[in-house]
Structure 1
Amino acid sequence: MTAPDDQTAYWNSTGTTKTFGHPLNPAWTAGLARDAALLDYGCGYGRLAGELAALGFTDVEGVDVAPELVARARAEQPAARFTVLADPPRIGRPDAAYDAAFLFAVLTCVPDDAAQQALVAELHRVLRPGGLLQVSDYLLQPDERNRERYRRFEARYGRHGVFETSDGAVCRHHTRERLDGLFAPLFEPVDERELAVLTMSGRPAVATQLLLTRR
């Protein structure tokens, strides 16, 4: 059995109450022109797209699978554009349409290996050669609460780090080796950092952020 990669129903209901907080690293956007075409994939309610617009970027597009979240993003962040994905991970834009893309706390919501690979391939398609990809996501957590649920759900989903939350989401935490292997065929590493973040339920966690360039 593989973990489900379509959780639209969750994000249109329970997910609309969540708060997302992975921080943007402005130093990684400093070299981009203010009119660069930017993509926030899995934009949710538009927090990150709004931060990019506040930095002076004038061509920011957010895309998400959840119409309810996109409706909120349009209302709260009028300086950016937002689109509902009709056939995820497919983005209805031509090849090489964007100069940079942002994938913040999205892979944790796409727990299936093949679905993650398809998403990374689609980002590669829509980024121009040399375009930047910023990734922020959760590592495997060392605390006993997380270790217990990794063990509890490993047999059900067939991979370590996939688990169900108490309110109905299926999530995945990653080793660095998994993340590196996921991006290595299509992207070149530029920079990285680890940092403390809060989960969407407000618990402390460790995340990794990667700056990559499209091969």
Structure 2
Amino acid sequence: MGDLGRQLAYWDGAGAAKTFTHPVEHEWLAGVSRAARVLDYGCGYGRVMASLADHGFTELAGVDLAPALVARGRALRPDLAFDVLTDPPAVPRPDGSYDLVLLFAVLTCVPSAAAQRELIAETARLLAPGGLLYVSDLLLQEDERNRARYAAYADAHGTPYGVFETSDGAVCRHHSIDELRSLLGGFELVRERRVEVATMNGHGAQGVQLLVRAR
């Protein structure tokens, strides 16, 4: 689907060398079986999967649209399972295939509201009843640099406020907490917390993590 795939050149080029930093709150997953079926959607080079594996999870799968990121992950962690998404947001697995799905800094890479809704619908399809979706993403930033680029991009392209272009050519989106809660409104909220993260270009940023349950 075009809105998810149109930045493939970026993620298969400059984006393939980035370092991702969103932390995993392992306490949130303390009650999840180590044999749970886990999908890391937009897994990049597998940093989150590696962290889960190091905490005892054994049934891990990662998918990403960028072959270069997947190749990097396979080289770093040949013990983990990586696949390239060929028709995002679709994952070629049956309904209810996973007990836990992770979206770490994925929504920020999907600027279209319609494409975000399609992605969340796909995660809902993939989750077993009562399964968990763990989202980590970036909130709207209040500093002058970010507010200026939100306004400039919205004026130029008519996109939602919070969409912007990075200095090296990625189109990203930051969200209000109400936008994220609304997007996940079909799930039951389990946990929510604010986090400080470094962006892929090394800037400090306010983030949020939400753990929600499929109804």
Structure 1 length normalisation: TM-score?
0.96
- Residue equivalent to 1:159: 160
- Residue equivalent to 1:102: 102
Asked if the contact 1:53–1:60 (Cα under 8 Å) also holds between the matched residues in 2, the reply is yes
- Residue equivalent to 2:15: 15
Q: Which residues in structure 2 correspond to 1:95-174 (within 5 Å)?
A: 95-155=95-155, 156-174=157-175
Q: Which amino acid aligns with 2:182?
A: G
Q: Which residues in structure 2 correspond to 1:1-215 (within 5 Å)?
A: 4-5=3-4, 6-155=6-155, 156-184=157-185, 186-215=186-215
**Structure 1 stretches of at least 4 aligned residues deviating more than 3 Å after TM superposition:** none
- CA drift of 1:16 comes to 1.1
Asked if the contact 1:95–1:127 (Cα under 8 Å) also holds between the matched residues in 2, the reply is yes
Asked if the contact 2:99–2:132 (Cα under 8 Å) also holds between the matched residues in 1, the reply is yes
- CA drift of 1:93 comes to 0.7
Matches of 1:79 and 1:189, distance apart in 2: 33
Number of equivalent positions? 212
Asked if the contact 1:59–1:80 (Cα under 8 Å) also holds between the matched residues in 2, the reply is no
Matches of 2:100 and 2:42, distance apart in 1: 14
Matches of 1:53 and 1:122, distance apart in 2: 24
The C-alpha deviation readout for 1:157-177, integer Å capped at 9, x for no partner, is 421000011101000000011
- CA drift of 1:4 comes to 4.7
The C-alpha deviation readout for 1:77-104, integer Å capped at 9, x for no partner, is 1232111001000001110000001100
Asked if the contact 1:53–1:79 (Cα under 8 Å) also holds between the matched residues in 2, the reply is no
Structure 2 length normalisation: TM-score?
0.96
The C-alpha deviation readout for 1:163-207, integer Å capped at 9, x for no partner, is 0111010000000110011010x2110110001110001110000
> 1:69 is paired with a residue of what secondary structure?
helix
- CA drift of 1:29 comes to 1.2
Matches of 2:100 and 2:60, distance apart in 1: 10
Matches of 1:173 and 1:4, distance apart in 2: 16
Matches of 1:28 and 1:79, distance apart in 2: 25
Matches of 1:116 and 1:157, distance apart in 2: 17
- CA drift of 1:125 comes to 0.3
Asked if the contact 2:3–2:115 (Cα under 8 Å) also holds between the matched residues in 1, the reply is no
User: Higher mean Cα deviation, 71-80 or 167-176?
Assistant: 71-80
Q: Which amino acid aligns with 1:80?
A: L
Matches of 1:10 and 1:198, distance apart in 2: 19
Structure 1: gaps of 5 or more residues: none
Matches of 1:97 and 1:104, distance apart in 2: 19
Percent of matched pairs sharing the same residue: 55
Structure 2: gaps of 5 or more residues: none
Asked if the contact 2:139–2:175 (Cα under 8 Å) also holds between the matched residues in 1, the reply is yes
